[in-house]
Amino acid sequence: MDILVQYKIENVSFAYPNSDQPSLTSVSFEVEEGDFVVLCGPSGSGKTTLLRHLKMEVRPVGTLSGSIFYNGKGLEEIESTRLVEEIGIVFQDPDNQLVMNTVWQELVFAMENLAYSSEKIQRRLAEVVQFFGMEEWLHIPVHQLSGGQKQLVNVAAVMALRPKVLLLDEPTAQLDPIATRDFLQLLVRINEEFSTTIVMSEHRLDETLPIANKVVFLKNGSVCYANHPAVVLQHIWDEQKDSVSYIPAISRFYFEVNSDPHHALPLTVKEAKRWWKASGLSFTSGDLHKKDNSVQEEVLFQCKNIVFQYEKDTPPILKNLSLSVQKGELFMLFGGNGSGKSTFLQSIAGAITPQRGKMKLLGRDTRKIPTQEKSTLVAYVHQNPALYFTKETVKNQLDDRIERLPNIDEAVPRLAELVSVFELKDVLHKHPFDISGGQQQKVVLALALLANPALLLLDEPTKGLDPVSKLRLSNWLKGVREKGTTIIMVSHDVEFAALNATKCGMLFDGQIHSVEEKLQFLRENFFYTTSFNRAFGEECPNAITEKDVTIQWPTRIKYYT
């Protein structure tokens, strides 16, 4: 019996209103029943646009040509209630999908809207709660949940309808590494135990490619490849030299040093360990990390015994927290969802006021620095880009920021540089809400960097960025640090930290623990570390990225960015 083709996309092209260029161009591929498909590619390549076209209720407005068939019929021909039940979608930001006050209300909301009977709702609610392990927080208000729990609620609410297809738009973007692995393993269970077809757009490919059976790589709105992950990665390595940064670190290292074409491409840590032992290669010893000359002895920011609680009768989220950051550092702060990382950044920025403790910036009590002066000394980038957009176009938003700065003459040439670095030229005349999440993130980073601040606070700045954009951001952050800017960054992106941080720390139980040099921090960790360190840390303890090691074999490296 032939496998059912769930989706057949034929020659689909799409353009948003008033757009000079199409977002999708002649897109064609198939998704079979039970497939686990990962959509990947640069920011703005059309991943989210394509995903939204697979569900009628969230289809964007614009000019569409071509055909999308679902189980042999055009989506437009199928009764709407059936599509609501059979095709579920989960978005990048969990808060954007939550509409009710408590978890159980959220879980039954869609079923009530579809007029399910009380008996049917109770049966499905009981099953879903048991399957997803939500018993202990079923009656908790959703605003008290962590990011990982919120995303779990969104998936559970969709699965209560027993869909045949689950669409996900970068669902792990705001999750910490442990929550990400738990979430992805849950998707594997859903895919394998119920044969639910999964189509997911994602930039974090280290974790997702090993669980997918098909990858669709998009570029400039077109499908370059649609095949098994290993086949697609081989094509990218052989034919897309400007895109090799999309290849996960372990697989890229294999391409860089492997001399045995018969050994299967490793996608997981286990496969990488086996390949390495069979390869006969070995690492040389020695310190691969040079001293970062951007870091100075002067302490730029210091806080002592910071205490903050959101409500009087609730436990404090920051408990006598202390930290000292030197000028020119990039301090990377890790921690689980809900641990207080964003709260800490907001307290530094002055968005919230701690109940106790002191903060100093350049030796001055932050409470005594005038607001106008502090706004130029400290720049804060929130993890939600949408909060910054008040103008009709990206250009208007950037111009408005420049007009508010005291040093306009310096900001104008800086804007031209930022537009080039973050590739914003093509979106300058678009509305900020008509561009991709990754492009929005780049606009917000540009807004913050226009001021050339002494202290830059970044809350999940790599969220939604493709690997090439991350490399450009890395280069830019290195440049601003060399000019004296200090950076405190909150992130779940361990790979980015491995390339850019000077020091790292872990926020746990209201305090920052394990403040160490980057190499020591990542080398000693088990969960919060790079996939490369997990695979090769025992063989080469001084290497935490493939870049650290490939420099040992300069004659063998085919390509590296």
How confident is the model at residue 553, as a pLDDT? Answer: 52
Widest Cα–Cα separation across the chain: 75
Question: Hey, what amino acid is at 133?
Answer: G
For residue 264, count CB atoms less than 10 angstroms from its CB and return exposed for 0-12, middle for 13-18, buried for 19 or more.
exposed
Q: Given CA atoms 498, 501, 503, 507 in this order, what sign does their dihedral have?
A: negative
Query: What is the Cα–Cα distance from 355 to 335, expressed in whole angstroms?
Result: 22
Instruction: Enumerate residues 6+ apart whose C-beta is below 8 A from 328.
Output: 292, 294, 295, 296, 300, 481, 482, 484, 485, 486, 502
Around 26, how many Cα atoms within 13 Å sit in the side-chain half-sphere?
1
Give me the pLDDT at residue 288, please: 56
CA distance 295 to 201: 37
Residues 6+ apart with CB under 8 A from 82: none
**Contact (Cβ atoms closer than 8 angstroms) between residue 442 and residue 428:** no
- Cα dihedral: 57, 61, 67, 68 (round 10): -30
Q: How far is the C-alpha of 97 from the C-alpha of 83, rounded, in Å?
A: 18
Q: Give percent helix, percent strand, percent coil of the chain, each to the nearest 5.
A: 40, 20, 35
Cα separation, 384 vs 440, in Å, equals: 9
Question: Cβ contacts of residue 99 below 8 Å, gap of 6+?
Answer: 106, 109
- What domains are there in the chain, each with its CATH number? 5-247 (3.40.50.300), 299-525 (3.40.50.300)
Residues of the chain with pLDDT under 70: 1-2, 259-262, 284-291, 293, 550-561
Check if the beta carbon of residue 108 is closer than 8 Å to that of residue 159. no
Tokens of residue 124, six digits: 């499905």
Q: What is the pLDDT of residue 556?
A: 46
Task: Copy the structure tokens of residue 424.
Answer: 């914003």
Calculate Rg over the CA atoms of the chain.
24
Beta bridge partners of 360: 302, 365
Please tell me the distance from the alpha carbon of residue 134 to that of residue 106, in angstroms, as a whole number. 12
Token pair for 416: 């031209």
Contacts of 322-326 spanning 24+ positions with Cβ under 8 A: 322/511, 322/512, 323/505, 323/512, 323/515, 324/299, 325/299, 325/300, 325/301, 325/486, 325/488, 325/503, 326/295, 326/296, 326/297, 326/298, 326/299, 326/300, 326/486
Q: State the pLDDT at residue 264.
A: 87
Q: In angstroms, what CA-CA distances link 364 with 306, 358, 377?
A: 16, 10, 12
- Report the relative pairing of strands 5-15 and 24-32 from DSSP bridges: antiparallel
Q: Are 348 and 301 in contact (CB under 8 A)?
A: yes
Which residues have C-beta within 8 Å of that of residue 260, sequence separation ≥ 6? 279
Residue 324 structure tokens: 């000292």
Backbone phi and psi for residue 374, each to the nearest 5 degrees, phi listed first: -65, -30
**Rounded CA gap, 457 and 331, in Å?**
10
Beta bridge partners of 302: 324, 360
Q: Note whether 233 and 271 are within 8 A (CB).
A: no
Q: Transcribe 194-222 into DSSP letters.
A: H--EEEEE-S-HHHHGGG-SEEEEEETTE
> What is the tally of helices (H) and strands (E) in the chain?
20, 20
Structure tokens at 388: 């910054």
Number of neighbouring beta carbons within 10 Å of residue 112: 11
Q: Of 270, 455, 241, which is closest to residue 366 (Cα–Cα)?
A: 455
